[in-house]
Structures are given as structure tokens and as C-alpha cells.
Structure 1
């Protein structure tokens, strides 16, 4: 079958229409997706630069979630320490009452009742410490260390060391409070009840110092959380500047291209009229 021969005018108009249609398709895609760079074919440099920025933003977003959970761990720990402080103060009140009663000549049986109540508070301290964990992390029991990573390479991080606040632990991270039942003696106040009061005073200082340390770590984490969120927003904004289309501009282009397409069709029609005139000569 012989090829169809087109005049130069028809071919020129046809090529112009095909180019206009390609631009229309491209503009419609940009309006549909909101992106001026949809693939590496559109603009390799901007596409891969934006992809790199978005990848880093995604990595930091995962770390941001971990920071948020670490903050919740410290908040749970802070609430537990508040309650723990109250229990230690209650124990102090009982020990002071036992000392005052023993000094006033109260019988040993009365002191034993107070000692039993005192040991009940020690049990509650241990229970409270055991229940203060958040999602499996308990900074008040077992002396665990919580590590929070701040960047995608792992080179920036914060270690939050825990303690072991069970009442009988005499280590530097423990409370070091002994039980009172069978120990408090009206005849030996200075070596029994006074010892408990000293232990409680030391334990209260330890708890307050640890509360300050956890509070400092909490402030650091909240600062890094805000910073990381801002960095993520900056990275995504930078990626958008490389790939996001200006819909006002694309809308204007679409209107212009549609007008150009209509004019091209009209021009093609006019260019074909010469051939039609020749055809009429043979009719």
C-alpha cells in the first residue's frame, strides 16, 4: 500500500498539534498529581534530590516516633517518683511517731504495730516501682539504660540510666531502706528507729536528685523532638520546592494550550482546503 503524501503545510500543522497534545498531557498530569516532576524522566537532578530529602525526612520521622515514646517513659517515671516521694514521706512520719512514742515510754507492742505499718509502706514502694514501666521499659527497677537515637546514622544519642528503687537495695542506685518489724526496739532507739529515719532521709534525697536527673533528660528529649520535627518539615519543604507544581501556573498553561490546540485544528482545516479544491476539479 502506498504511503499517504501530505503537503508541507499539513505536515507542519500536524506536527504542531502533536506537540501541543504532548504539552497538554504533561500539564494535565501535573494538575492531577500536583507535581511538576513525577519521575526521573521529567528532571533527573530535581527528582533524585527530592527523593534524597524525602528519604531522610522519613528516617527522622521514625526516630521522632521513638523520641515521643521515650518522652512518655520519662513522664510515666516522673509520675511514679511523685508517688514514691509521698510514700517515703509517709514512712518518715511513721518512724518519727515510733521514736516519739518510744521516747514517751510506749510499750514495745505499740512500736511493733507501727513497724508493721512501716513495712507495709515498704511493700507498696516495691509494688509502685514494679508498676512504673511504660511499654516494657522501667527506669525505676533493674537499673536499665534507655538509649534514644537522634539521627539516622546513630552517632547522636542520649543514654538515660535507670535506677533500682526497691526499698532494700543499698547500692548507689537503690533506696537502702531496711524493714522495721522485729528491729525497732524501745530500749535501743538510736540504733534502730533513728537508723530508719536516717535511711529515709537519705532515700528521700536520692529520689529527689534522681527526679531532677530524669527531668533534665526529659527537657533534652523534648528539645530534640521539637528540633527533629522542624528539620523534617524543612526537608519536606525543600523536596516540595523541587517537585511540586504551581497549580495557578499549570492552570494558565492548560487554558493557553487548549486555545492553541483549537487554533491548530482550524489551521489544519484551512491547510487541507487546497487539496479539497483540487479534488473538486475531478468531480
Structure 2
């Protein structure tokens, strides 16, 4: 049978104090080791579970950052693709400008019959060119008959348009553009007609050294050139449209009607333009190839793919995300047609100025479309980057908030441990003194 040991009150008090100090020192040592003042729900249930919830959300948001980063890279890949395609379109513009700058040999042009003769040159002591330019259009001798008067020593003569026709008109048509102009017959010369043609923007004119009026289109389209006269503006314009007085200035009536004859090109193919066709088509093909290579991680916004970036950890209607619908980008979709050396439907004929003008407009439109797509991508990229920065900051806030609830103050805990160690030493001294008091009874024996 084991007998119970009876301790004195002083010893029992000292032992209890030592046990309490040791328990507190152990708890503080655990806080210093973990860095937390709340290590379990027992320490502080409210703070423990609140911190756990904050850390859980922070962890979920951190996991979403990878998806946001991938979304940003997908947008940037498409944006870089747009930048590169823009440079290709600008190169296409440069190629078209080279073709337009080429002195094309296929301008529609024609020289009329001579308006002055060697006899007139001898009489006036002027060149054939000057005599032709100075000739009056109307019959300067008067009368109703359309009689051309030769130059004399004192006059350059006239083309014989009847004096009764007080109005003159020119009509110039190229493609879908028509230029008309009326002026008075009186005192009007061939020089005035030449100047008026040069104002049209449709064609140019000059009188050569042979005394011939030359008319040349500004583009490759067949030009209809008509000259006419009448008693008023309306009849003069009608006459001009049919070439009623074309013969007076050395042209045929059919030269006024584009569908019948007109001033046609020499049908000479420009070698410079031909050499630019392959260059143009190669650049055009690269647009399609580049668009196909602008993807990231299997998603290509320039091939019609859709990218979805999730910004929060929730689901359903509470979920926050950004959906980006891509577009199928190609040369055809941008309105950039292939180039050829002949007139074919749906193609750009590099030998035709009108087609080159159309190509220029198409390329300008393509650049506008690319800017619009780039702007849309830029706006989405800005949103994604802003949410990425926000998510990073929010995870830091959540983590800091959780730490504030459970983290231990190292300085304070270290000071507490030092104080407990001092108390432990004092308690041990008190226990020793209590034992000495109990041992005093031995002196009685």
C-alpha cells in the first residue's frame, strides 16, 4: 500500500506556481516557433476561423491569377499580330504607290488632224503650233455657213463654227466621271479650249509642233472627248456629248462616245507594274499566314476564337469575368483583292489606274478596320491588366488581414518569455526556501 505524501502549504504553492509558469512558457515558445498567437480554434475560435476564411479566398484568387495572366498573353499575342499585319498593309500601300508612280504607257491618247498648214505658217511667219492655238473657234467673217477661214498676215484664221451658234461646249468622260463646260463662241480660241480641258482633271491637252490638238486621259480608262456648239448651253452640251463639232478641231465624232470608240489606250503593258504584282500578292498572302500564327496557348483571337478570363472565385450570376470574341482576320475579309495583269472580276488590275485607285481606298479601309480591332483589344487588355493588379493587391489585403488576426508579436512574446523565465527562477527559489522550512524540524532530533 502506497502512502500519500503530504506537502506543506508553502511547498505546494511553490510547485503550483512553477507548473503555471512552465505552462505559460511552453505556450509562448509555441507562438514564437509558429509566428502565430492563434494556432487552433481552442486559442481563439472567432479569429481562427475568420483567418482561415480569408486565407482560403486569398488562395483561390491567387489560383485565378494564372488564368488572368494567360488571358493577357492571348490578347497581347493578337495585338502583336495586328501590329505586324498593319505593317504589311502599309507595305502593300507602298507597292501600289510604286505602281501609280510608274509612267504608265497605256494612257488613252489621240492627236487630231493638223489645225494649221505650212502655207499659213509662211503667210503669218508663225509656227504651226502658235497658229493653231490662236485660231478662233467661231467664223470670224460672219454668216450662217460654217466656213473655216485660213490665217493671213493679220489674222490666225478660224475653225468655221457657224456664227449663229453662240455657245460652245466640251464633254469629257472617263469611267464614271464626266466633265462638261460651256463658254461663249465670241473671241474663244483653241488655246481657251486647251486650257479648259486641262482644268477638267479628267484629261490633259496640248497642241504639238505639227499644229495638232492632242488629248490624253489622266488614267487608264477609255476617254470620251466631245466638242460641240449650239444656240444655248443645253444644245451645245447635247452636241458636245455626240461630238457634233469634233471634226472642226481635228477629231472624229465617234471619239466622243466611249461605248463606240472614244480615245483608247495603246494597250502597252507596263513592265514595272508587272514586276510589282508578285510582290503585292506575296505581301497579301503573308496577312493570312501571320493571322494564323497570332495565337497563344491554343487560342487565337485573329481566327475567330473566344477567350474567357475569370476574375473572382464565385460561380453563376455572381461570377465576374471578361469574354473576348475574336475575329477571323484575312486579306479577303479586309477587302484586299489579289493583283493581276489583266482586267478580271474581283481582282486588281495593276495596269489600270482606276483599279489602283480602288486598291488604295481598300487598303486605307483595311487600316481603319485594323485600328478598330486594335482599339478593342487594347480596351480588353487594359481591363484584364487592371483586374490582374487588383487581384494581386486584394490577395495581399486578405493575407494581411488574416495575419493580423492570428499572427504573434515576436517582440512582445519574447519579452513575456523572458519575464516567465525570471518568474520561474523566483518560483524555484521559493520552493527551495519552503523545503528548508520543512527541514528545520529535523533539528529537534
Is TM-score (shorter-chain normalized) higher than 0.5? yes
SS at 1:45's partner residue?
helix
SS at 1:215's partner residue?
helix
Q: How many residues align?
A: 275
- Equivalent residue number for residue 178 of structure 1: 337
SS at 1:166's partner residue?
coil
Q: Does 1:133 align with 2:295?
A: yes
- Equivalent residue number for residue 116 of structure 1: 278
Q: Distance in 2 between matches of 1:177 and 1:220?
A: 32
Contact 2:294 2:300 in 1 (8 A): yes
Of residues 296, 311, 314, the one that matches 1:153 is 314
Q: Does 1:273 align with 2:274?
A: no
Q: Which sections of structure 1, spanning at least 5 residues, go unmatched?
A: none
- Equivalent residue number for residue 417 of structure 2: 254
Change in Cα spacing, 1:269 to 1:125, as seen in structure 2 (3 Å) is: same
Q: Distance in 2 between matches of 1:121 and 1:18?
A: 87
Q: CA deviation at 1:263?
A: 0.5
Q: Which has the larger radius of gyration?
A: 2
Contact 2:77 2:296 in 1 (8 A): yes
Q: CA deviation at 1:84?
A: 1.1
Contact 1:111 1:184 in 2 (8 A): no
Contact 2:105 2:269 in 1 (8 A): no
Q: 1:162-177 to 2 correspondence within 5 Å?
A: 162-168=326-332, 170=333, 175-177=334-336
Which is strand-richer, 1 or 2? 2
Q: Does 1:230 align with 2:393?
A: yes
Which is helix-richer, 1 or 2? 1
Q: CA deviation at 1:272?
A: 1.4
Contact 1:115 1:184 in 2 (8 A): no
- Equivalent residue number for residue 13 of structure 1: 14
TM-score by length of 1: 0.89
Contact 1:177 1:203 in 2 (8 A): yes
Q: CA deviation at 1:139?
A: 1.5
Change in Cα spacing, 1:276 to 1:93, as seen in structure 2 (3 Å) is: same
Q: For residues 149-204 of structure 1, give each alpha carbon's deviation from its aligned partner in whole angstroms, at most 9, with x where no partner exists.
A: 11110411111221121222x3xxxx2322224644356543x4444333322211
- Return the structure number with greater relative CO, CA threshold 8 A, min gap 6: 1
Change in Cα spacing, 1:184 to 1:2, as seen in structure 2 (3 Å) is: same
Root mean square deviation of aligned Cα: 2.1
- Equivalent residue number for residue 79 of structure 1: 80
Contact 1:60 1:152 in 2 (8 A): yes
